[in-house]
Amino acid sequence: DVKVTQSSRYLVKRTGEKVFLECVQDMDHENMFWYRQDPGLGLRLIYFSYDVKMKEKGDIPEGYSVSREKKERFSLILESASTNQTSMYLCASSLGQDLYNEQFFGPGTRLTVL
Partner 1 sequence: AQKITQTQPGMFVQEKEAVTLDCTYDTSDPSYGLFWYKQPSSGEMIFLIYQGSYDQQNATEGRYSLNFQKARKSANLVISASQLGDSAMYFCAMRRNTGNQFYFGTGTSLTVIP
User: Quick one: which of 25, 75, 85, 94 contacts partner 1 (CB under 8 A)?
Assistant: 94
Minimum CB distance to partner 1, residue 86 (Å): 16
Alpha-carbon separation of residue 107 from 13, 14, 36, 44 (angstroms) = 19, 23, 12, 16
User: Quick one: which of 40, 62, 69, 84 contacts partner 1 (CB under 8 A)?
Assistant: 40
By CB under 8 A, residue 88 contacts partner 1: yes
Q: One symbol per residue from 51 to 70: x for binding partner 1 (CB under 8 A), - otherwise; what is it? A: -----x-x------------
Alpha-carbon separation of residue 5 from 25, 54, 83, 86, 109 (angstroms) = 6, 21, 25, 20, 10
Q: What's the one-letter identity of residue 28?
A: D
Give the integer Cα–Cα distance in Å for 73 and 108. Answer: 15
Would you mind telling me the total number of residues written for the chain in this entry? 114
Judged by CB under 8 A, the stretch of 19-27, 65-73, 75-83, 86-94 that binds partner 1 is 86-94
Helix (H, G, I), strand (E, B) or coil at 84: helix
Judged by CB under 8 A, the stretch of 13-21, 69-77, 78-86, 99-107 that binds partner 1 is 99-107
Residues within the interface to partner 1 (CB under 8 A):
31, 33, 35, 40-45, 48, 50, 56, 58, 88, 90, 92, 94, 97, 99-100, 102-105, 107-108
